[in-house]
A and B are shown apart, each in its own frame.
Chain A
Amino acid sequence: MLYRFVYGALIVFLVVVIERVARLATLPVHLRWELYPVAHEENARYGGSFFEHLDWWKRKRNTSMLGELKVMVPEIVLLKAVHEHNRSLWYRSFPFHFGLYLMALFVALLVGGGVAQAFGVEIGASAPSIGLALHWATKVVGFAALGLMGLGALGLLVRRLTDPTLRAFSATADYFNLLVFIALAVVGLVASITSDVDFVELRRFTQSLATVHLDAPAPGGWVGAEIAMASAVLAYIPATHMSHFFTKWFMYHSVRWDDRVNTVGSPLEGRIVSQLGYKVDWSAAHIQGGNRKSWVDVATEKPEPKP
């Protein structure tokens, strides 16, 4: 039952992520709305753009993937923008997010350990080399992940409850989301401390999951509860605003840094021409689309001054 639940959660997670990515990726190409600094520009250090050059359209553009990485890595790993612009929140938000990153690493270590075990690698405090490293890495990362995630979520919850502005903007789900992470951390820590301090049970479970041995006994008690909760959270995240962990890519690359220039005969121009043919339904007097006029019709007509 637990195996099926975890597989089910994983499938829900993947389906929702893919659906959201597909929905965002297939939206029409929009008008440019970049915001400087644009990280891949050669003068990104002060926010400069290719527009600073005379006859910029004749000049070969020098863009830098490294420039994007220099912004994205500290932003993702260290939450640089929150650190710069909202320091008091960062003290709560950073441990929470870093705890989640460690949680992902923890799961990877469990899966890696499970697969290694399936190939006969011994893992434990008295195991040789790789097994010993995996044992300690999993243990340190697991406890750090649960601790940081829980503390961070608690800090965020307290802040949301005590700051009148945040409270005014918060919906029930905002509290619920944080409570879920706190509960997961508590259950995980209790499970680990009381019955699985070396994460042996979890590793055995992930081994069975990874090798599809569904007849292996599934953990019960606190560890079983921890697995079930973690799976439910995994399935839940992409359906909430927390999906920003992957939609942020679109926010930056498709909007903030999307300075692609429309050139005559380019595929981009082809998409624009096609979209200019969309029928318009806006009903204000100066448009009166009525699903009869295209954007080209609207843009090339002289509007009526009065309804």
Chain B
Amino acid sequence: MKRHLTIEEFSRPSEQLARVDIEDLIPLPPPYDGYKEPEWTRLKDEKRASCECSLDDTVLLSLPKPKSLREERELADKFVAGLQKLFTKENNWTFLQPLVLSMEHCAKCQTCSDACHVFLESGGNDVYRPTYRAEILRRLYYRHVREGGLLSGLTHGRVGMTWTTVARLIELAYRCNLCRRCAQTCPIGVDNALIAREIRKLCSQELGIAPKELHEKGTMLQLSVGSTTGMNSLVVKDNMDFIDEDMSEKTGVKLQSKWDVEGADVLLIHNAGEILAWPENPGAFALILEAAGISWTLSSELAAYDGVNYGLFYDDAQFARIALLHAQAAKKLGVKKIVAGECGHEHKALMVIADRVLTGDLNIPRESSFVLLEEIVNSGKLKLDPSRNNFPVTLHDPCNVVRLMGIVEPQRRILRKIAPQFREMEPHGVDNYCCGGGSGFAIMSGNNFAEWRMKVSGRRKFRQILEAFRDEPDPAQPKYVCAPCSNCKGQIRDLFAHYGAKEKVGLHYGGLVELIVNAMTDVKPGFMDFDAG
């Protein structure tokens, strides 16, 4: 019989609090029925000896173990200090009201658990319940913020305030994709995903603890060099030149990306990861905008050529700094609007979260590329031949764009026009499942974290994709997953590689603009080459 985790044991030291047995993972549909995931790569003994690895089968943060009880106590006290700041209007006006509401009204009914892909695909492991980490913070809140004293244990439950609690809680905050599917199902309106984010924020803003992929190699790099890819403005321009050349050759359409055009209508901001990992995406954007006669530009200002804003996932200060740079670049160029490329979190960061950060002349209109692309496709300015896309296509809904912004139909209307074999995944739209790489996980692979992304957080998405193409079992028939988000594409790329899905099922993935360009009759046929790489 499966053992249930209690809240109290979270604070008790043990070698490993929770384990996901490979046998517990929910079997995948054909052709992966019978497929058994490899066992977890065990963390090295030196790692276990030096770092806090006692949560589950993986580790992301690699927090060094404190050297003494005194240091443990100091860190725990610092966490409590941060917790108290989290509930002051000065330090956390940004999310105080939603946080307080979610802290004080959970009925612990567990309705949200069955909405969470991580919990479900882990075989129902208690540690991954959206309520589990939230309940721990809730108990700490009542004890240390509301100062409930001894009564707090009776009224709200107990959990020990130890370094073990803190170390595990920080790590556990990074087992949630922040997709907020759980919040959608809560009958009361409690948002346990927000609590995961607020734990991350507390740790970053007070203790200086955050995954290096988000902080040192993420926001800090972007703020100093200009991009999380490490590209400065010279390098990014060079790379775009290469892309222009390559696209021109491949499509037969002469292409020249535009930089720093003052007074352009549109400042297009890509996730710079596209430029390095999926260069055909920014290339396709440029080709479409040129063909449609749009007045557009890219910006070479610091951070403005990279729409990434990882602050969204863990830190309000870093978020605001990057959002400001994006807006300042647009202001400097005098553009009419900023258009977010195919990047989900860039959409949400720029258009929704930054909405109450940018004021005055920095509050420049911001729009989704999906909407602009639909306008272009409908305008008749592009000559499109849908038969060029006559292969099975399904659409992945990036959570940030769909559930969290309500941009649901424009991308679908485009696909219905240009992809004759378009079919939906189930569920889709605002009820979609996260790709499993959300909230920055797609760029995190240290230790054996990539295994966790494949076996647990990404498994639901892979299942959905297989189900969407169940009627097309022939691996020789290419099938395309349209994932108009860089982060999601990264996760889907890794999933397909993990499962050998290209060879075994004929699965391919990419963005939306690639499909549009592939259908353009002015472009040489075969822009999308399923036989290549």
A residues whose Cβ falls under 8 Å from a Cβ of B? 24, 27-38, 41, 43, 46-57, 75, 79, 81-82, 84-86, 89, 93, 164-166, 168-174, 240-241, 243-244, 247-248, 250-252, 254-256, 261-264, 268-269, 272-273, 275-276, 278-287, 289, 295, 298-303, 305, 307
B340-371 to A contact mask, C-beta < 8 Å, 1/0: 00000000000111011111110101011001
**A-B pairs with CB below 8 Å: how many?**
274
Proximity string of chain B (173-192) to chain A, C-beta cutoff 8 Å, 1 when within and 0 when not: 00000001001111111110
CB within 8 A of A281: which of B6, B90, B318? B90
Q: Is the CB of B402 within 8 A of A284?
A: no
Flag B304-326 by CB within 8 Å of A: 1 or 0 each.
00000000000011101100100
A27 touching B317, Cβ below 8 Å:
no
With A49-B407, A82-B187, A282-B317 given, is the CB distance from A250 to B97 under 8 Å? yes
Are B95 and A31 closer than 8 Å at their CB atoms?
yes
Q: B interface vs A, CB < 8 Å?
A: 4-7, 81-82, 85, 88-91, 93-98, 100-101, 104-111, 113-115, 126, 129, 131, 135, 153-157, 180, 183-191, 194, 204-208, 215-216, 220, 223-224, 316-318, 320-321, 324, 337, 351-353, 355-361, 363, 365, 367-368, 371-372, 374-375, 402-410, 429-430
* A171 to B142 CA separation, bound complex (whole angstroms): 12
Partner of A166, one of B98, B110, B355: B110
Show 6 residue pairs from A and B whose CB-CB distance is below 8 angstroms, ordered by the A residue: A43-B409, A46-B430, A75-B187, A273-B359, A284-B206, A299-B324
Least CB distance from B79 to A in Å reads 12
Given the known interface contacts A52-B407, A82-B111, A299-B317, the answer about A262 and B96 at a Cβ–Cβ threshold of 8 Å is no
Least CB separation from B190: chain A residue: A251
A36 touches B409 (CB 8 A): no
> Are B189's CB and A255's CB within 8 A?
yes
Contact A275 B93 (CB under 8 A): yes
Q: Is the CB of B90 within 8 A of A248?
A: no
Give the one of A79, A172, A174, A255 with max B CB within 10 A.
Answer: A255
Is there an interface contact between A280 and B90, defined as CB atoms closer than 8 Å? yes
Residues on the A chain within 8 Å of B107, using CB: 241, 244
**Most chain A CB inside 10 Å of its own CB: which residue of B97, B106, B153, B357:** B97
Find out whether the CB atom of B114 lies under 8 angstroms from the CB atom of A85: yes
The CA-CA distance from A203 to B316 in the complex, in Å, is 56
Q: Which residue on chain B has the smallest CB distance to residue A23?
A: B100
Say whether B114 contacts A86, CB under 8 Å: yes
Question: From B88, which residue of chain A is reached at the shortest CB distance?
Answer: A281
CB distance from B93 to the nearest CB of A (A): 4
In whole Å, how far is A239's beta carbon from the nearest beta carbon of chain B? 9
Instruction: Write the chain A residue with the least CB distance to B354.
Output: A31
Please pick, from A261, A284, A295, the residue contacting B207 in the complex, using a CB distance under 8 A.
A284
Q: Are A56 and B404 in contact (CB under 8 A)?
A: no
Ranked nearest first, the 4 interchain pairs of A and B with the lowest CB-CB distance are: A49-B406, A251-B189, A47-B430, A171-B157
Query: Given the complex, which residues of A lie within 8 Å of B360, measured CB to CB?
Result: 264, 269
A28 and B97 in contact (CB under 8 A), knowing A43-B409, A48-B408, A85-B115? yes
A82: chain B residues at CB < 8 Å are: 109, 111, 187
B191, B204, B337, B353: the one contacting A31 at CB < 8 Å is B353
The answer to whether B93 and A28 touch across the interface, beta carbons within 8 angstroms, is yes
The reply to whether B371 and A165 contact each other, CB–CB distance below 8 Å, is: no
* Residue in B109, B183, B321, B409 whose CB lies within 8 Å of A299: B321
**Chain B neighbourhood of A33, CB < 8 A:** 95, 98, 191, 194
A49, A282, A301 — which one has the most chain B CB atoms within 10 A of its CB?
A282
A87 to chain B, nearest CB (A): 10
Pair A298/B317 contact, Cβ less than 8 Å = yes
Q: How far is the CA of A55 from the CA of B6 in the complex (A)?
A: 51
Contact, CB under 8 Å: B352 / A287 = no
Tell whether, in the assembled complex, residue B404 and residue A278 are in contact, meaning their CB atoms are under 8 Å apart: no
Are A30 and B189 CB-contacts (below 8 A) given A81-B111, A82-B109, A164-B4? no
Residues of chain B within 8 A of A295, CB atoms compared: 93, 320
Known: A32-B356, A34-B352, A262-B359. 4 other contacts (CB 8 A): A31-B94, A169-B108, A172-B155, A173-B156
Minimum CB–CB distance from A277 to chain B (whole Å) comes to 10
A305, B111: Cβ atoms closer than 8 Å: no
